[in-house]
Structure 1
């Protein structure tokens, strides 16, 4: 993939670049970008942003590198998806890992399980019993969203209310903001503005 992309760039055919799986590649030059190079997906197109001063050879080199990077990132995301905790035991083990990583291991649930009867919540916790339940509607969602909901419920084992102390616990997780926005979007799309599942 990357080799053919770089060759095409060297030949000055940047607007005809494609990845090995047929996705178009667009090179964007920016006068404001002086040294850094970025790569990202935009509506199914691989976009490579480079400094305007780059020569054709530099463009070819960086397109080669960055398309390969996008490919590796895609492989990692796919692998992460395959490693999603499918069973209750795997979910409990994953919860322990998240607690150790983001909550200092202080949240120690007695049980963590998937449930199919939660239609108004993404997850729920019972601090007095130390139990956590996640809606199986989360299963097809990105892992970083599932992790947010699981961390949300783990935090409830430490702080029951949605107060400042509770949200402070979630500051360490880098995807808290976008996960909340993602779930709000899903709820809106599902209910067309009506209240959807939530974390509690």
Structure 2
């Protein structure tokens, strides 16, 4: 049952547990508690169902959008602020960006957003998306680039928010997620 997209899973069988199945996070591991009498097929069914439920619940609590939702939002923002001219090929979360909030590769029209943005206010994430969309129109941080970004109404506020998070993180005042 190894799925590279799934978190590590630990199954705990209990002789005391008769009917109920539960799941919870323990560190980064999804723990699924099932009755000891379950067959392997029942175990697989319930583990899949419960891990999906855990991930969905965690994503909702964190305000996380799926990659498909990020793409949809990017297209909405492009239409609203950039005349629909910036059309990404993909928009996705990544975990390997710790010094940038986002990045864009114009040649394949891909946009990557740091997982550290998850749980931040939606207007901050929208700013980062607009910033990266603008790179699909202008590669560098030129005056023309910034004029595209300036169409987003909360640029100064979002930049200040991200600078505050960076400042706090650099001094160990928070865990890097935007939560003090």
Give the aligned CA root-mean-square deviation in angstroms.
2.1
Please point out which of 62, 72, 93 is paired with 1:93. 72
Displacement over 2 Å in runs of 4+: none
Say whether residues 1:183 and 2:162 are aligned partners.
Answer: yes
Return 5+ residue gaps in structure 1 as ranges: 1-80
Say whether residues 1:168 and 2:147 are aligned partners.
Answer: yes
**Which whole-Å deviations, capped at 9, do the CAs of 1:90-129 have from their partners, x for residues lacking one?**
1101100000000000000101001111111100000111
Please point out which of 124, 129, 137 is paired with 1:145. 124
TM-score norm. by structure 2 comes to 0.60
Say whether residues 1:108 and 2:84 are aligned partners.
Answer: no
Return 5+ residue gaps in structure 2 as ranges: 1-59
- Following TM superposition, by how much is the alpha carbon of 1:86 offset from its aligned partner in structure 2, in angstroms? 1.6
Cα distance in structure 1, aligned partners of 2:89 and 2:155: 24
Is the 8 Å Cα contact of residues 78 and 130 (structure 2) preserved in structure 1? yes
Cα distance in structure 1, aligned partners of 2:137 and 2:88: 10
TM-score norm. by structure 1 comes to 0.54
Is the 8 Å Cα contact of residues 114 and 133 (structure 1) preserved in structure 2? yes
